[in-house]
Copies of this chain bind each other. A is one copy, B any other.
Amino acid sequence: MSDIDAPVARRRGGRAFAMAARAAEIKPRLSTLRYAIRPVEAVNDEQLERIHSASLSILREVGIEFRDETALRQWREAGADVSGQRVHLEADMVMGLIAKAPRKFEMTSRDPTQRFEISLDTMTFGAMQGAPNIRDLQGVRRASTIEDLRNMNRLTQMLPGLHIAGGFTCEPTDVVVPWRHLHINHSSLVETNMPFFGLTTGRERAEDSIAMARIVYGKAFMDQNAVMAGHVSGNSPLVWDATMLEGLRAFAEAHQVVLLSPFVLGAANTPPDIPATIAQLNAEALAALAYTQLAAPGAPMIYGQYSVSVSMRSGAPMSGMPEVTLINVVIGQLARRYGLPWRTTASQSSAKTFDAQSGYESAIAYMSGATANANLMMHAGGWDEAGLVCCMAKFVADAEQNLLIAKYAQGISFDYFDEALEAVRRIGPGGHYLGDSFTLKRFKDAFVSPEMLDYLSYEQWRVQGSKDMAERCRAKAQVILDTYEQPPMDAAIREELDAFVSYRQEQISPNLA
């Protein structure tokens, strides 16, 4: 279906490629990445204040719905104007609550090297979440299973470009829904030793997620350390529902990270206007961020948002659009005003297959986040088809893109500048640097050298089988899975974790056994 480049006769493709891939060095996993580029700005200070004021006016005058009795009671007790489910919030209360949030915090795990800071200065990568389908290592798209999820977690564990496992990177659709969250958490904890996303859809699932993490980490450790995050989505316009708020409270009270994401489909649940869309989503975010501090003062939290615009031809969400890129820029400006770390969607694509569209859209989203100094790059791995598919090949490609965009975000070092200028003087006009002593000293570290991007000549590329990026990444994923080793876990802990799953399955719906 793609370009026409029949492999040439003396094909030596697959095996040589796989061997080369196996031989590649294992890179250390990303740690704290600190921005050293000054971000793009799309509005001036006066315009930023207009948006901020509009958000506060919306919260005061229109109000926002908290469809949850506990939250409504808490708002009432705090002195907010509550009528029915509608909460009208004064600016002072909102900003006062937000001021209680930590400006930076760490996430950690049982891998002692996996400790990193999340703050307005740092960049963090989380794997994708929520795909009901997988595009597998044969290139086939189908409903995903628990074994697919385990494989995604194995890839997450092995690839150096991710900080946080997605948890529900793809849905284990072969596990019954009431038991699904148990198996998702089990895989996060067993297949990886990384910080991970637990389940937030309702109190019971959230509490199970926390209970399972406590089996592995212990409550005392988790009271002092964030090892997991809960992703809480809003219902735009201006609604937070009980299911999500229950999850929010469970995570915040357990001292784990909460990520609060209004869900913007521009022109569908916000107006077709960029600054007004931002004002609305900012109102939604501020309300939930303030509520988090009301429910659990000092809880680590991230200003979230998921934004796409909607095609006026088909109603479908559109990834990689300039409006969303601009929204990211301004959300970054607002988050810095509030002193809160914020998230973007790093690698979203609407493509149905891992083709050029997928590459364009994903890279626009990466650069959009990095140039706006986003602190959590969510869904940074595998996301195609507006999130309806997790593409295993793309997951491998994105994990490498994470390393490249991290290098960019960390800016320019002047550590070797004077020494390098000496080389310029030494080489002079018309020379070359390949054999120079400075080149020999620095070439390994100075410039990155990706593995999934192909730099062969056309002729070499044909000899190696005319493989496009999807094929190369599938081959790499297979090598990784073949060499995967489960991170160590104390046998007694593993037993307790397995027993918890069995016990809770029985408790939740014994008739499904």
A-to-B contact residues, CB < 8 Å: 1-5, 36-43, 47, 50, 54, 57-58, 61-65, 86, 135, 138-141, 235, 237-239, 266-277, 279-280, 309-318, 320-323, 325-326, 329-330, 350-364, 366-368, 371, 385-386, 388-389, 394, 397, 401, 404-405, 407-408, 411-414, 416-417, 419-421, 423-425, 427-434, 436, 438-439, 442-444, 446-450, 452-458, 461, 466-471
Contact = CB atoms under 8 A, between A and B. Distances in A.
Nearest to A365: B363
Given A420-B273, A439-B272, A466 B353 contact: yes
Contacts of A41: 37-38
A318 B3 contact: no
Could you say how many copies of this chain the assembly holds?
Answer: 2
A456 B273 contact: no
Contacts of A436: 271
Contacts of A388: 458
Nearest to A409: B322
Nearest to A358: B356
Contacts of A42: 36-38, 411-412
Contacts of A360: 359-360, 362-363, 397, 401, 453
A35 B135 CA distance: 39
A314 B455 contact: yes
Nearest to A466: B1
A437 B450 CA distance: 50
A405 B412 CA distance: 25
A346 to B, nearest CB: 12
Contacts of A386: 455
A452 B358 CA distance: 12
A355 B352 contact: no
B350 A443 contact: no
Contacts of A315: 434
20 contacts: A2-B353, A2-B470, A3-B135, A3-B355, A37-B40, A40-B371, A42-B411, A267-B447, A273-B416, A273-B438, A273-B446, A276-B417, A279-B417, A280-B424, A313-B455, A314-B456, A323-B446, A351-B454, A363-B367, A364-B366
